Chain A
Amino acid sequence: MSEIVLDKVTKRFGKVTAVDSVSFRAQAGKFVVLLGPSGCGKSTLLRLIAGLEDVSDGRILIDGADVSRLSPEKRRVSMVFQSYALFPHLTTEENIVFGLKVRRVPEEERRRRLAHVAAQVGLAELLDRKPQQLSGGQRQRVALARAIIAENRICLMDEPLSNLDAQLRHGMRVEIRGLQQRLGMTVVYVTHDQVEAMSMADRVVLIRDGRIEQEGSPEELYARPATTFAARFIGTPAMNLVALSDSPSGAVVRGSADALFEGRGEGFVLGVRPEHVRLADSGGVAATVTSSEYHGADTIVTVKVGDETLLVRAPGQLSLAAGEPVRLAWDAASQHLFDAATGVRVAGDRQPGRLAAAAD
C-alpha cells in the first residue's frame, strides 16, 4: 500500500496563494498526472508532497499517516527533477547509489541493486561516465534509476520529459509507464503537456490557478470536460468553442443562420472537437474555408461559421481553396454546452438532445 491523500492542502507564499485547498487521492499503484499550464501551482503541489515545501494549511497523508510535518527523507518518496539534478562530479554509478550510500546500505547490496536497476533502464554500459558525457535521454535514465533504486513505493516526477526532443519523449513515455506498472509504484507526475497526461495517466488532475479544475480518467476529461478551460486544455487541436445566439428556428452559431438545436442559444458556448466535425455534402451548417493545413494523416481545415472560427480535422489530404463554401456536420453526442459567463458545463439534462443541423 502506498496511497497518497491530500486534504484541503493550501500553500501561500506571502500574499500569493499558489495552492488553494486542493484535495485528491492517488490510489496505490496508480499513475496520477497533475496537469496544468505553467504557473498553475502543480509543481508546488508536488514539492509539498515531497516535503520540500511546508504546507500552509491542510494535511498530506501517505498510507493514512499524516506526513505534513515530516522532513523529505522520512516520507520515503523518490523524486525525479525537471533538470534531473544529477551531481556533475559523480559518475553514473555514484549518482545512482548516492541515496543508498547516505543510508549506509552495505556495499554488497548496493552492487546487487545497482546491477538490477542499471539493466532495467539500460545504463549498464555507461556506469563510469560523468553526466556531461551523457546525452539528454541517458541523463534522464540516470535520474530515473536514482529514483527507483531506493525501492520507495512512491515516485514523484516533475516534468521529467520537458528537456527531451519530441522523438525521445515518446520513447521515454512508454518506458516510464512500463516501469511504473512493472514495479507497481504510485507515481505522481507533473506536466503541462496534455499528450503526456492522456497517454500515461490512470487519473488526471487538471489544475488551474492553484485549484483543481477537473479530476478524472483521461477518457472522462476528453469525453466530458467540466469547463471550457478543461475543454481547451485536452486534445490537439483544442476543442472548438463557439458562442451561440438565438434565432427563430433555435440556437445558432453567432452570425450563422443554420439552427443547431431547439431552444435558446444566447448565453451558451458550444464545444465540439475538430475530429468530430465532418465535411458534409448537404444539410448541416454552412461554412467558408479560410485555410487548410496538411498534416500527413489528416488535414486541419480552418473554417468560418458566422462570426466564429472552427477547426475541422478531416482524414487524408483535401484540396480546399480559401473562400470555398463547405457544410459541417457532427453527432449530437459529441457536442458540449457550457455556460458562457462561468465556463461551466451545463447539466446533462439540459445538453441539447436533438441536433437540427446534423446531415444525416
Chain B
Amino acid sequence: MRSLTNFAPSTFEERGAAVAFTTPVLAQTRVRKDSRDQLEVLVPNLSEGRGVYVVPWKSLPLAFPMTVHDRMLHDLIAKADGCSPDDIRKAVLEAARCGLAGGGAVAAAEAALNDDDEQRLLINYQLIVEALKAVGLESTEILRVGLTSAEGQKLTRDLMMKAAQRLALEPTELYGRIAELAVMMESIGIATSPKPARLRRLMRDLQGFRDSMTDWATDNVSEAAPIGGFCAEVAEHTVNHARNVIGQLDQAMASFETLLRQWETKRPQIRKACSRLSWLLDGWEYLILLWSDALTQDRYSQDMAVHDIFRVIPLLPRDEGRIDQSLMADKLITSQKRSVRAYVDWRSGQLDVDLVMRIETLKGKAA
C-alpha cells in the first residue's frame, strides 16, 4: 500500500481506467497494466484509510466479495486485449447487457450501444460530406436520395472517385483514410453534428457538474465543502484540457483537405488527441450521475456523495497539468479527517444491499 502522494501517477496509463463495478468498495476503482504487462487494480481509501491498495487482477475475487455481475465483468476484462477506457467500456456494456445488474442497466447498455451504431453511421456520412466539400463537390444530392439506398451508394461512389482524383489519391486509399478517421472520431463526432457524440455530451455534463459543485461548495458551512470545492477544481482543470483537445480536433477537421493530404503526419496526432480525450473524461460519467442524484436528496446525503466522489475522482496525472493534484488531495485528506465508514453492512459484514442498489440505479441512468 502506498500513500496518495507517493502514488501520484505520471501518465494516464499509470493512473488506469475506471471500471464500473457494482460492489460498493470497488465502484470506479482503476485497472492498469503492471511492468510485466499483467493487469492490476487500484483500490483507494479502503475502509476510509489513507492510500491506495494495488491488487493483482487475478486475486481480486479472493480479496473482495464481489457481486455476480462484477465477477463476469472481471472475467470479460481479463479476456479483453487491452485496458484502455474504450476496452473497459466495451466490457462494461457487455456485462450490463446480460441482466446481472438489473433491468435498468440492460436498457441503458442497449441504448448506449444503439447510440454508438447511430453515431457510427452519422460520422461516416459526415466525413464523406466533408471530403466532398473539401474538394469543392456538392453533396446535397446524396442526402436527397438517401445514403443507404442503392442509388445513393452509387452516387456516393462516383463522387468519391472524383474527390480521390482531385486529391491525387487512390479511391480505396481515400475510403480507407475516411473509415479510419470515422473509427477514431466515433465517440467525439464533429463540431457541426446535429447530435453531439458521447464524449462531447460528457464534456458538457462535466461543465454542469463543475458549476453545480462550485455553487454547492460556496457559502456552505459543511465540512465537506472544501472537498466539494476541490472536486469542482479538478473538474475545471479537466474541462479546460478537454476543451483544448476538442479544439485541436475541430481545427484539424475544419481544414479537412490538408488532413487528407498530410494523412501520414496528421494521423498519429488525431489518434493521440482522441485517445487523450477519452482518458481525460474517463470515470467522470458515474460521478456526474452520482452528484445529480445527490442533489435531489438531503444535505447529509450530499456530504456523503461529495466524500464518495472525492474517493475516486479522476485526478489529472502529473505530466498533464502544472498543478500536482495528488499533493493537493493528500493535504485535503490530512485536514479533513472523518470517521470510518466501511462499505459493508455494519450489522452483518455482508455487502450493503442498499448501496449496491444505488450503484445499479445509477448504472441504469447511464445511457
Q: Is chain B a partner of chain A in the same complex?
A: no
Interface residues of B (CB under 8 A from A): none
Residues of A within 8 A of B (CB): none
